[in-house]
Structure formats: C-alpha cells, structure tokens
Amino acid sequence: MNDLVTIGEIGRPHGLAGEVKVKPIVDSSDRFSKLKHVIVEAADGRREQFTIRRVRNQKAGYIISFHEITSIDQAASWARAEVKIPQDALEALPDGRYYHFDLMGMEVFTESGACIGTIEDIFATGSNDVFVVKQQETEHLIPGTEEIVRHVDVAQKRMVIRPIEGLLTHDAV
C-alpha cells in the first residue's frame, strides 16, 4: 500500500447510531463526499478500512456514517482517530496550494538567503496556515500568506519568505 495521508480527524460521536463528527484538514470542500473508503487510524495503533455510508456537511466539518460503525459506543472508540487515504488518491491542487505533508521538513530561507530553520509543524488559523519553523532552540511562527511566503519549491524542499518587521528575531535575519 502506498503512503497514507491524513485528511481529517474524528471528533465525538453524533447521535446514537454510530455517526461521527469529522474535522477536515484538507481544503477541498467536497473531499469526503467523493470518497467510498477511508483508513481510520487510532492513537493506540488500531487501523481499519471503513466504507462511507453517508456524509453531511456541518458548520465546522462533516457528520459521517460508516457501514462498520453502528453504535455510539463503537463511534466513541474511534474519537481522535485520523482519517486517511492513499497519497495517490489525492486530488491535484491548483498552483500556489500545497498539502501539509509536502511542506513538513521544508527548509525556510529569507529572500536574502539566510536559513531560518525547518518547518516542523503547521496549524490552521481559519484565515491562513501558520508554519512552525525551528532551528536549534529558536522557533518562529510564519504566517502562510502571499505577503510573507514568496516561493515554494516542493521538489527541492525549500521555501523563501519575505519577513516583515518583527516577524523574526534580529539574530535570525
């Protein structure tokens, strides 16, 4: 099986019939409605393939029912599990958009060529992603906006940023 990519996280159960709330971590608004099967992986290492029965949009995500989960107790046992699909099943993104797994481990440089570190984590704020860039003991939070991120080269694992005043500590620039 090729590499799996996380596309969402199961939250708490919804109702008594085994439905679950899923928070997506992909920006395709109809990603889950196009899927028939997903791999669900729990923090304790359990991993199962589930068949999607129904997907409903909800304010901050989806309500999903799986054929294999039919009770609230079963649904609760998968809380905080990751929803994954094979990497080759991902849709191509438009220019300027990237999957998180493409950016993790990427080296980040300023336009003047100074290396400020490596992307170690990414979190969404609603309006844009924020990259956690670390180099030894120094950590920077870099907004993933067009104003800041000037170039991304996925093949070379390299990002170039234009730091605005106050974004970086003086010794990192």
Domain of residue 68: give its range.
Answer: 4-89
Asked if residue 119 and residue 151 are part of one domain, the reply reads: yes
Choice between 69 and 165, residue whose per-residue pLDDT is larger: 69
Tell me, yes or no, whether 172 lies in a domain. no
Tell me, yes or no, whether 168 lies in a domain. no
- Each residue of 7-56: pLDDT tens digit? 889 999 999 999 999 988 765 556 788 889 999 999 899 999 999 999 99
- Classified as helix, coil or strand, 79 is coil
For residue 120, the model assigns a pLDDT of: 95
Tell me, yes or no, whether 173 lies in a domain. no
CB within 8 Å of 55: residues ≥ 6 apart? 32, 33, 62, 63, 64
Whichever domain contains 141, its CATH number is 2.30.30.240
How many residues appear in the chain?
A: 173
What is the distance between the alpha carbons of residues 106 and 77, in angstroms, rounded to a whole number?
35
- Each residue of 120-158: pLDDT tens digit? 999 877 788 899 999 998 999 999 999 999 999 999 999
Asked if residue 62 and residue 41 are part of one domain, the reply reads: yes
Whichever domain contains 58, its CATH number is 2.40.30.60
Strands 115-124 and 107-110 come out as antiparallel
pLDDT band with cut points at 50, 70 and 90 for residue 169: low
Q: Of the candidates 89, 110, 145, which is a domain's last residue?
A: 89
For residue 135, the model assigns a pLDDT of: 92
Tell me, yes or no, whether 26 lies in a domain. yes
Tell me, yes or no, whether 20 lies in a domain. yes
| Model-wide pTM > 0.75 | no
Hey, which residues does 139 pair with through a beta bridge? 134
Measured between its terminal Cα atoms, the distance across the chain in Å is 43
Asked if residue 72 and residue 32 are part of one domain, the reply reads: yes
Number of domains the chain is built from: 2
pLDDT beyond 70 at 59: yes
For residue 172, the model assigns a pLDDT of: 47
For residue 58, the model assigns a pLDDT of: 84
For residue 60, the model assigns a pLDDT of: 76
Asked if residue 128 and residue 71 are part of one domain, the reply reads: no
For residue 1, the model assigns a pLDDT of: 45
Tell me, yes or no, whether 25 lies in a domain. yes
Q: Which two tokens stand for residue 106?
A: 């990427």
pLDDT beyond 80 at 72: yes
